[in-house]
Chains A and B, each alone.
Chain A
């Protein structure tokens, strides 16, 4: 039988081409295996999603005791609610009896937490409220079966959770983020949840973040969007665990989205990335913020949520127009890019690419991609703080 010639799967010179966390200008990308390997995906569920602050909701969504939201943190379901003493609590959404998941809806209002399997109930503070027939069982101690808690923090009007009970607070990890958010969205504390869009994307979660981290692709891939923004004045600056893109709104009669210019209305687009999976998108005009967050559902699949917050829970016609633009134009364009990148990452021809980080750190420079990928690299290699 003829043996096929062995195929060189990855270029030999790859060892010289590396992501260099300390040298954005000369750095290459993360290797493709980070985007396709089931083992590295499993590792990230622990070293990234098991240890980072993840968005849960706006404060106004857990204002009353028993108001709750259910979110995904990697592959974990987490329930966030306010207890009867007014404390915000976060729990794994898992019954401590026989592991059935507890709440099934993504949000709602409850007086206690019920497991539908055997009808165990928990108080909002996580203690067992009732366990049917437990009084007839030897050595049953309700205190042993309180819900397992996660860490919860309010920061900049949002509720964040962290599976790592020893995690440093988000406020200490990103101390200047709150001021930046308030600078661009002074009404952030008054906002109300208005609308959610959800997409399932055939791409690794990092592929989608990489895409959001640069506007090098904007001109070729989002022809409409570049008419909306002022590309020569587009800036991208990186900070500890976040980076921010700001672009003024030019006066452009042919823009695909009309922006209402008025007194007190803000006149720039702002996108703030927060490690590991969140982009906060502030449109020009009245108080608003859109939260785009990427949750992995497998090594090469991601669920994207886009939650819109406005001053009123009923969006105005202009706000609906911006939702529709993002939903029907910008997001489908980005998702299509990510899916095709993911396909390319699986090719035997590709391992690493060169990041185009220019001297000026211009609006088309890829330094925020480098910023994000360096954080991924450090999460995988905590033993080398400098990432070497």
Chain B
């Protein structure tokens, strides 16, 4: 499946994602800067991304633990997710993933 990644430096780069891979790993493999400092334990928020509305709606909803992290992110949007919690699935094909200009880091407080 294909995803388009938007960052402050790239207006949209198409990448290939593998079914079943955590989105954060796919982003890292494609050399996008997503530290994911807490290793997927939902503590830091440094893997925060925004999805397009359709892709967001097609995914299983975030867990309570993930919501607890999202809730504390200043850059929170209606389609925010922690990319460590998003598993790539064929329904995401053609989706747009935006890495926020400003990275949130709950560990830096």
Contacts and interface: CB of A to CB of B under 8 A. Distances in A.
Q: Do A and B bind each other?
A: yes
Interface of A: 104-105, 110-112, 114, 116, 119-121, 129-133
Nearest to B109: A104
23 contacts: A105-B109, A110-B72, A111-B68, A111-B71, A112-B43, A112-B65, A114-B107, A116-B108, A116-B109, A119-B37, A119-B38, A119-B39, A119-B41, A120-B43, A121-B41, A121-B43, A129-B65, A130-B41, A130-B65, A131-B41, A132-B38, A132-B40, A132-B41
A129 B39 CA distance: 14
B46 to A, nearest CB: 10
Nearest to B44: A119
B42 interface: yes
Contact of A111 (B37, B39, B41, B72): B72
Contacts of A112: 43, 65, 68
A116 B71 contact: no
Contacts of B43: 112, 114, 119-121, 130, 132
B69 interface: yes
Contact of B42 (A104, A116, A130): A130
Contacts of A114: 43, 106-107, 109
A255 to B, nearest CB: 46
Query: SS class of chain A's interface: helix, strand, loop or mixed?
Result: loop
Given A114-B43, A119-B41, A130-B43, 12 more contacts: A110-B72, A111-B68, A112-B68, A116-B107, A116-B108, A119-B43, A119-B107, A121-B43, A129-B65, A130-B41, A131-B41, A132-B39
Interface in B45-78: 65, 68-69, 71-72
Contacts of B106: 114
Contacts of A121: 41-43
Contacts of A133: 39
A120 B39 CA distance: 11
A11 B39 CA distance: 67
Interface in B84-109: 106-109
Contacts of B42: 121, 130
A68 to B, nearest CB: 12
Interface centre among B43, B71, B106, B107 (most CB of A within 10 A): B43
